[in-house]
Structure 1
């Protein structure tokens, strides 16, 4: 078993907090004055519950101790910043505690927060369509723009899910039991180290959502092409802006039309938040690197925490299939298609 070292991010190697539903309910009532029925929500690192009561719906969150309070508070400040910059974006709102603060530090050091609940159907459970991909890319572009002026020291933390750290995933290749997936990942990481990582410092950097996967997006059940919610800001980080686009695009690749879907997603984003020539130049490789990130980290964590394996591995099959479809593309053809679909002003 590969040993994860601290640069990969400590919270990936730590179990979520252990509080009973009764304990969570008592804390929510005592510190927020909220009562109702609690339902547990799946989470990789934190303890989350949906609270439905007379005051409405909320998400009650108790953070993983390994992350530290600064990161959680950064997320709260970012959500307030987004609401101020683009009030129409469907993101959770921070709910202040009875003392007026945005969080409560529990006696054992855990940090507790409450956010508003957003209604909708998870994207992974809804019908897919090209129009939905366009709507998602455009919504992400709006979110990136809303965060463009946000700065916080908590955003500079080390997060292995952040694509800029993909080179470190070499340490996890042996944990990928599928030989085809392992070889594909090795090829991508070699190209990343040689052709992508050296160019990252000159790109535009900012704080981004960094995890727009199908489990973190809600759509309108009556109109699944309409994005109804963007969830889970737990992977927010300061990184090259285009990494945010690449994360979302990695989950929207049509295996029957990899080039077309890759290009159309970028074009929809570009129409709202124009990309630079350098960003377009690394987009394809960053999408592939995100798929490698999903495969490598999921493989390691599923072996370490088999009781949570179904949740951890939920995106593995699509990432493997997507990586195979990208591997079949000619990078020169990809560059030409992106240049045509996303004209850059001189």
Structure 2
């Protein structure tokens, strides 16, 4: 992550608009969106609303290719799922590329906008959580049989590696917080060896309540699932735990 912070794209809105026109033949209103390691813009055009993502230069190409393949698979096998869908470039590709003024090369992806507001901003009713369970079930079922070498990566956010947190406890200042984490780590250690025996597949792996969208008119209905940056091959039950 430290390397990624050094290579975060910093294109201006005008520069991003030029990339949009060059690679997608589109023009519209661009608005910056928050992103931890990439640069995202909401793009409103006469053809619809999209997200233009300029990918961090430090991200391995295999990871970008994995996300692209995952989205393409969902588009083919579950086109009705409310997830971002890829908009091809003018040349028919799934990704474009550009070089920043600093001489750093970035890959570019344009995907459809998914309507809704984050689950984190709602009361998270039982009905909404049940709707989320159904959505994740549909999502994981749509990925049955899908595999990509980018899904087989070493990621701290892989629930199988939760025990690594023990080496970072010194960074937790409050004694009561450390005690809480230690208690859960002991419970995790007791069952960690069983994770390898569970059914595994490619999963979203980050369906936290900022990546889950709720219907603006019906807070009990999940309307979308976004951000596939932490997807990987892992025990399917981890989807529920996360």
Q: How high is the TM-score relative to the length of structure 2? A: 0.92
Partners of 2:173 and 2:44 lie apart in 1 by 41
Could you say which residue in structure 2 is the equivalent of 1:90? 82
Whether the aligned pair in 2 keeps the contact of 1:79 and 1:92 (CA below 8 Å) is yes
Of 200, 209, 223, which aligns to 1:205?
Answer: 200
Partners of 1:17 and 1:196 lie apart in 2 by 41
Long gaps (5+) in structure 1:
1-10, 248-346
Could you say which residue in structure 2 is the equivalent of 1:151? 147
Could you say which residue in structure 1 is the equivalent of 2:95? 103
Whether the aligned pair in 2 keeps the contact of 1:12 and 1:45 (CA below 8 Å) is no
Which segments of structure 1 move beyond 3 Å, counting only runs of 4 or more?
none
Partners of 1:241 and 1:12 lie apart in 2 by 29
Shift of 1:139: 0.8
Summarize the alignment of residues 286-297 of structure 1 with structure 2, pairs less than 5 Å apart.
none
> Which range is displaced more, 136-145 or 119-128?
119-128
Shift of 1:12: 5.8
Could you say which residue in structure 2 is the equivalent of 1:33? 25
Summarize the alignment of residues 169-184 of structure 1 with structure 2, pairs less than 5 Å apart.
169-184=165-180
- CA 67–206 in structure 1, closer or farther in 2 if over 3 Å, else same: same
Shift of 1:234: 0.9
> Which range is displaced more, 231-240 or 102-111?
102-111
C-alpha distance after superposition, 1:48-73 (max 9, x if no partner): 11111222110011112222111112
Of 31, 43, 48, which aligns to 1:51?
Answer: 43
- CA 225–58 in structure 1, closer or farther in 2 if over 3 Å, else same: same
C-alpha distance after superposition, 1:115-144 (max 9, x if no partner): 000111221123421111111111111111
**Structure with higher strand content:** 2
**RMSD of aligned residue pairs (Cα, Å):** 1.5
Summarize the alignment of residues 66-85 of structure 1 with structure 2, pairs less than 5 Å apart.
66-85=58-77
Of 233, 237, 241, which aligns to 1:242?
Answer: 237
Of 223, 231, 252, which aligns to 2:226?
Answer: 231
- CA 12–175 in structure 1, closer or farther in 2 if over 3 Å, else same: same
Whether the aligned pair in 2 keeps the contact of 1:40 and 1:50 (CA below 8 Å) is yes
Partners of 1:133 and 1:192 lie apart in 2 by 24
Whether 1:216 and 2:226 are equivalent positions in the alignment is: no
Q: Which secondary structure does the structure 1 equivalent of 2:10 belong to?
A: coil
Of 1, 4, 11, which aligns to 1:14?
Answer: 4
Partners of 1:84 and 1:227 lie apart in 2 by 22
Partners of 1:218 and 1:163 lie apart in 2 by 23
Partners of 2:178 and 2:26 lie apart in 1 by 48
Shift of 1:13: 5.2
Could you say which residue in structure 2 is the equivalent of 1:24? 16
C-alpha distance after superposition, 1:262-289 (max 9, x if no partner): xxxxxxxxxxxxxxxxxxxxxxxxxxxx
Long gaps (5+) in structure 2:
none
- CA 12–244 in structure 1, closer or farther in 2 if over 3 Å, else same: farther
C-alpha distance after superposition, 1:158-180 (max 9, x if no partner): 22112111111222211122322
Q: How high is the TM-score relative to the length of structure 1? A: 0.65
Partners of 1:31 and 1:86 lie apart in 2 by 26
C-alpha distance after superposition, 1:51-104 (max 9, x if no partner): 112221100111122221111121111112123222321111011111110001
> What number of residue pairs does the alignment pair up?
236
Partners of 1:199 and 1:67 lie apart in 2 by 31
Higher relative contact order (CA 8 A, sep 6+): 2
Whether the aligned pair in 2 keeps the contact of 1:167 and 1:189 (CA below 8 Å) is yes
